[in-house]
Structure 1
C-alpha cells in the first residue's frame, strides 16, 4: 500500500501480512457473495498515501449514472495475463441492473451492480474495487466479479454490490470477527451387514 509502482515501491509504501481470511458465508462458488475479508497482522498506518474507503450500510444505494472510480494493477488488455506494475485508474458510470442482466443472459442479481461498457474504458484482470465519493467521503461500491473481455464497448463489468455486505462486515466495527461459513457435516458412513445363508 502507498505506492503506485509495485516493481519500485516508494518510501511511502507499507506492507502487512495476512493473519486470517474470512469468506462470505453465503458464497456459492459462483458469482453470488463472492467476497472475502483479510485480517491483517497489524493495521496499516493512515498517511497521505494510505487512506481508507467507507463501507456503505445496507440502506445506501448508488444510482444509475453515478460516476465511480476503479483502480488497480490489472492487465492493460484482456489478452495480457500479467498484472501491470503501474497503478492506473478509470472513471466509469453505474449502468442499469436490468440492462446489464439482459446483456449477460440473466446472471445479474440484486446483490450485484454493473458499471462501464462505454468508450472502451473499464477494468481488467486483477483490478480493485469500485469506489465513489459521497459528501466528501469515499465509499466502496462494488468488488469486481466478471465481465465479457476487458472494457469492451457495450459490456459493463459486474461487481458484487457492497451495501449488501454490510451486515456481514459490521461486527468488525465492534472488534469482533465476521461470521464464518457453516462447517460442512461429516459424510455419513453406512455399515452394510453381511448375511450368511438362511
Structure 2
C-alpha cells in the first residue's frame, strides 16, 4: 500500500496527524498492482502467496494483499494487511496461484495472525506481520517452497524483483495475473532526502527508478516480496503514488526484523 502525501512535514504537528489519519482511513484496504511489469508464472516465484479476505458471511474471498512462505505453517506479510481486522473477517492463503481471484492454486485457511506490536500507520514503521495456517503447506509437491532472508543489505543500484497482482497504473485496473518488475535499490540517504529526514528508518529499504519512474509496486501488492537472488529483501509497504518519477517505493526491510519473525513463529509452534 502507498501512503500519499506522507512528506507533509511543514504542516503543524496536530494537522499532520489528522491528515495522516485521514489518508490511512481512505487507503486502509490495499488494492495493489505492479506497474509496467511482465506476466510471470507462479512456479518462478512459488514462495509468493495471495492473501484473501472474507469480510462478511455473504461476501466472497477477495485478494487484498500478498505474502511469502517462511515456514510450513507461517506466512510473512505486512502489518497493514492484518491490523484492525474485525472479528467477522476470515482469511485464507492461496499458494501456487497465477490469478488474483481465480480458482487455481491451493487454499489454506488461516487460524490466527499477528502484527508487530510497534507498528503504527502514522510512520508505517515495523510494517510486518505473520499469518499462522490451520494446516501445513505441502512443500514436497506442487513446487511450493519457502524463501530465506537475504543476510546482507543489497548495494545501491542493485537490481531487485518485486512480485504481485496489484494495479497496472496508479488508479487501476488491477492485474488478473501475477506480474513481476525489476527495480534498482535506492540508498536510504537518498530516500530520506526525498521523503524527509528520518522518514525512512533502518527497518525500511527503498527501490525504484527515481529519475524515470514508471516501474513500481502499488496497492494490492502490499506485503508482497522484493527479492534479490531469490532471497527476501523487502515487503511492499508505502510510498507516494505509484511509479511516479522522483518517488521510489519504500519496503519493509524484512531481514532487520528476523528476530521478531522467528520468535513469533516459534511461540506459535510453527518454526
Structure 2 unaligned segments of length 5 or more: list them: 1-94
- Return the alpha-carbon distance in structure 1 between the equivalents of residues 193 and 239 of structure 2: 13
Shift of 1:78: 0.9
**Paired residue for 2:146?**
52
1:177: Cα distance to partner?
3.0
Provide the rounded CA distance (Å) in 2 between the counterparts of 1:8 and 1:165. 32
Aligned partners of 1:119 and 1:79: how far apart in 2? 16
* Residue number in structure 2 paired with 1:37: 130
Structural mapping, 1:162-173, within 5 Å: 162-171=254-263
1:86 aligns with 2:203: no
Q: How far apart, CA to CA, are the structure 1 residues paired with 2:200 and 2:213?
A: 22
For normalisation by structure 2, the TM-score amounts to 0.57
Query: What is the Cα-based RMSD across aligned positions, in Å?
Result: 2.0
Check if 1:130 corresponds to 2:221. Answer: no
Q: Is contact 1:20–1:39 with CA below 8 Å preserved after alignment?
A: yes
Query: In the aligned structure 2, how far is the partner of 1:54 from the partner of 1:17?
Result: 23
Which residue matches 1:68?
Answer: 160
Does residue 120 of structure 1 match 2:214?
yes
Q: Which runs of 5+ in 1 are unaligned?
A: 179-198
Residue aligning to 1:193: none
Structure showing the higher strand proportion among its residues: 2
- 1:3–1:49 Cα contact (<8 Å) kept: no
When normalised by structure 1's length, the TM-score is 0.76
Aligned to 2:39: none
In structure 1, distance between residues paired with 2:97 and 2:138 = 14
- Take 2:188 and 2:241, find their aligned partners in 1: how far apart are those partners? 19
Q: Which has the larger radius of gyration?
A: 1
In structure 2, what is the Cα distance between the partners aligned to 1:83 and 1:15? 21
Alignment check: 8 A CA contact 2:153 2:233 kept: no
* Aligned residues of 1:56 and 1:166 also touching (Cα < 8 A): no
Q: 1:27: which partner in 2?
A: 119
Runs of 4+ more than 4 Å apart: none
Structure 1 partner of 2:238: 146
After superposition, residues 100-115 of structure 1 pair within 5 angstroms as 100-106=191-197, 107-115=199-207
User: Separation in 2 of the partners of 1:68 and 1:98?
Assistant: 18
In 2: Cα distance, 1:113 partner to 1:139 partner? 14
Task: Report if the CA contact (8 A) 1:32-1:111 is conserved.
Answer: yes
Q: Please give the secondary structure, in 2, of the residue aligned with 1:93.
A: strand
- Equivalent residue, structure 2, for 1:98: 189
What secondary structure, in the 3-state scheme, does the structure 2 residue paired with 1:16 have?
Answer: strand
Q: CA deviation at 1:83?
A: 3.6
